[in-house]
Chains A and B, each alone.
Chain A
Amino acid sequence: MIMTFAEKILAKYAGEKKVEPGQIVTVKPDHLLMHDNAAPIISKIKPELQQYGVFKRSLPVIVLDHVIPAAGEKNALQHKQIREFVRTYKIKYFFDVGYGVCHQIIVEKGLALPGTLLLGSDSHTCSYGAVGAFSSGIDRTEAAALLLIGETWLKVPESIKITLKGQLHRWVTAKDVILSIIGDVSASGADYCSVEFHGAIARFSVDERFTMANMGVEMGAKNAVFPVDNVTMQYLTSIGVSKLKYKPLNPDVDAIYEKELTYSLSEIEPVVAVPHSVDKIKPVREVTGVEIQQCLLGTCTNGRVSDFEIAAKILKGKKVHRNVRLLILPSSRSVYLESLKKGLISIFLEAGGTILPPGCGPCLGAHQGVLAPGERCLSTSNRNFKGRMGCSEAEIYLASPATVALSAINGKITDPRKVKR
C-alpha cells in the first residue's frame, strides 16, 4: 500500500490497511494537550467527570504556560482549578507554572514520538511533526469530549510535499525558510492539508524543524511533518528516549500528493512578515530602517538554545538601542538553564535585554510586553495578527532570531547579513 505520512498514520490509528483523502476515521490519540484553557475545558464537563471520570489519566498533558505567573485573580483561580483537577483525577502529566511553553514541553519530555498521534487544544499543536508525530489542533469542546471518551473523528487530509534543495546562506535561518514558504503558498494555501517536508532536511536540526512545523498552521495545515531520520533519532537519544520506545512511520517514496513544491534554499534570503498577516512576506532589505520599539526573542517558534546562540553571537558585547525593549522568552526552563550555563543569558542581560519566565509571554497579548498604540514590535513568534500583542493599533513584524537581534541593536529593522564580522 502506497501512502503519504498522514494516510499511513491515520490508517494505523483507525485499524485500517489503507485510507484515502476525504475518508473519515475514528482515532484514539496517544495524548491530548491542554494549557491554561484546561480550566474552561473541565468546567464544561463537571457532572460527567464526576460520574465517569477521565478516559485515561495518561491521556491528558497539561502545561500551564499562557498567562504565567498569573497576571490577575481570574488567571490565578483558573490555575488553581486545574491543579485541583490534576490532584482529583491523578493526571499523570502535569507541568505547573515555569516548566515552559506546552509545545516545547511535549517534545522535550519525549511525549511526542515518531509515529504517534497527538491532539491539542492549541493551534500550534502541529509542532510535533518536528519529531515525526502526527499532531493537530482542536477546540476546547473537543478536548472536553476527548477527556471523557478518548476518541474523535478525523478526516484523512490531502497531502502537500515540500522539497527543500541546496544549502542556506549564512544568517539565513529555518524561520526565513518557513516564512518564505507561507508567503508563497498563502495563509490558506494548505487549508485542511498535511504538509510534509522532504529533500535536504538532514541539514535541519530538530530545533529548526520545530520552528517550521510550528508554523504549518499559518498556511492552514492540519499537521506538518518531517520524516524521521538520524537527526530525529539522535535528538531523541539526547533527551533519554530509547530507540525501542518508538516506531517511525515515514511516507512512501511514490506516495500521491495533492501538490508538490520545491524550494532552493540558496535562493532564500532573510525575510519578515509585515502587518497584519503571516503571509505578507517581504525581504528584510525592503523594510530596512523601519523603526521598532520592542523586540521579542523566543516563544515556541524560536525560543530554543540554538536560536539564542545565533542571537548571542550578534548581541555579544553590544547594547540594545535605547529606544528598544528587548524581551527574551525561553521556551522552557531547561532551555533557560542551558542558556544560562552557556553564558547566553549574561550576554542578553549585558546587552540590556529583559528575561521573561518560560511561557507564552506577550505572544498572545495577555501580559508581559503588551504594546501601546503606534508601537511596532519585531518578533520571532508565529503570528502578527492585528491586536495579537494586546493592542489593535500596534504593529507586529515577524522575523528570525538573527534579524531580531541585529535590529534590536540598531533600533530599526536590519538585514542580519549586515553583521560586522
Chain B
Amino acid sequence: MTVWKYGDNINTDMLFPGKYTYTCNTAEEIKPHLLEDLDPSFAKNVKEGDVIFAGKNFGCGSSREQPVLGLRAVGIIAVVAESFARIFYRSSINQGLLLIECPEAVRSYKVGDQVWLNIVKGTISVGSSTFSFPRLPNEILAIRDAGGLLPYTRQKLQQRKI
C-alpha cells in the first residue's frame, strides 16, 4: 500500500482540472487526469488499496464529483485528512469513498510509516501509534450500507411505491 501525502487546501481543480468537467464524466475518462496539476505521478502510479493523507480542507472548491469518482475508481481505500470541505465530504458519502477526519493521524505520519485501518473499530494505526476516529451518524451509515446514495434512493422509491 502506498501512502500519498499532500498538504492543506487541496482543491477540486488540483484533484481534477475544471477544463475537463464537461467532457470527462466516466471513470475511464477521469482516471488519466486525476491530480494532474498537483502530482503528475499519481495517475500513473496509484494502485488499488492506496491511501491519501492530507492536511486541512481537502476537496475544497467546486462541487464537481469527478475527483471522488476518480479516486474511488483507481482504488483509493480512504482519504485521511485533518479536515474536509463539506461538498466533497457529502459527495464521498454519496459515492462510497471512505473519508477519515483524523488530524492526529495525519500529523503523526512520517514517510515509510505502515498504515492500518480498522473500519469496524474506527481506528487507524500509523507506525506505532493508533488513533480512533468518530463513528458516522446512523442516517449516513444507512447510505453507506446501501452502497451509496443512488442505491439508497432506489430503496426509498421502492418503499414508497408499496
> Which A residues are closer than 8 A to B by beta carbons?
24, 26, 36-37, 40, 43-45, 48, 51-52, 66-67, 72, 74-75, 78, 121-123, 125, 137-142, 144-145, 148-149, 153, 187-188, 191-192, 217, 220, 222, 277, 279, 364-366, 370, 383, 385-388, 390, 392
Contacts and interface: CB of A to CB of B under 8 A. Distances in A.
Contacts of A148: 153, 157
Given A138-B91, A188-B56, A220-B60, 16 more contacts: A43-B25, A48-B154, A137-B63, A139-B64, A139-B68, A141-B91, A142-B91, A145-B94, A145-B149, A187-B60, A191-B84, A366-B22, A387-B17, A387-B36, A388-B18, A392-B36
A234 B94 CA distance: 40
Interface of B: 8-9, 11, 13-14, 17-19, 21-23, 25, 36-37, 56-57, 60-65, 68, 83-87, 90-91, 94-95, 137, 139-140, 148-150, 152-154, 156-157, 160-161
B157 A383 contact: no
Contact of A138 (B63, B140, B156): B63
Contact of A220 (B63, B85, B91, B161): B85
B61 A222 contact: no
A296 B89 CA distance: 31
A12 B100 CA distance: 31
B19 A24 contact: no
Contacts of B60: 187-188, 220
A392 B157 contact: no
A279 B83 CA distance: 17
A78 B68 contact: no
Contact of B23 (A74, A123, A145, A387): A74
Contacts of A390: 17-19
A392 B160 CA distance: 48
Given A139-B68, A141-B150, A149-B153, A191 B83 contact: yes
Given A138-B87, A141-B148, A220-B60, A188 B153 contact: no
30 contacts: A37-B21, A37-B64, A40-B25, A66-B22, A72-B23, A74-B23, A75-B22, A138-B91, A139-B63, A139-B68, A139-B87, A139-B94, A141-B91, A141-B95, A142-B149, A149-B153, A153-B140, A187-B57, A187-B60, A188-B56, A188-B85, A220-B85, A277-B9, A366-B21, A370-B19, A385-B11, A387-B36, A390-B17, A392-B17, A392-B37
Given A153-B140, A191-B86, A387 B91 contact: no
Contacts of B137: 24
A45 B18 contact: no
Contacts of A387: 13-14, 17-19, 36-37
A117 B149 CA distance: 21
A66 B21 CA distance: 10
Contacts of B95: 141
Contacts of B22: 36-37, 66-67, 74-75, 78, 366
Contacts of A121: 63
Given A52-B157, A138-B63, A386 B13 contact: yes
Contacts of B140: 24, 153
A350 B10 CA distance: 41
A192 B21 CA distance: 25
Contacts of B161: 52
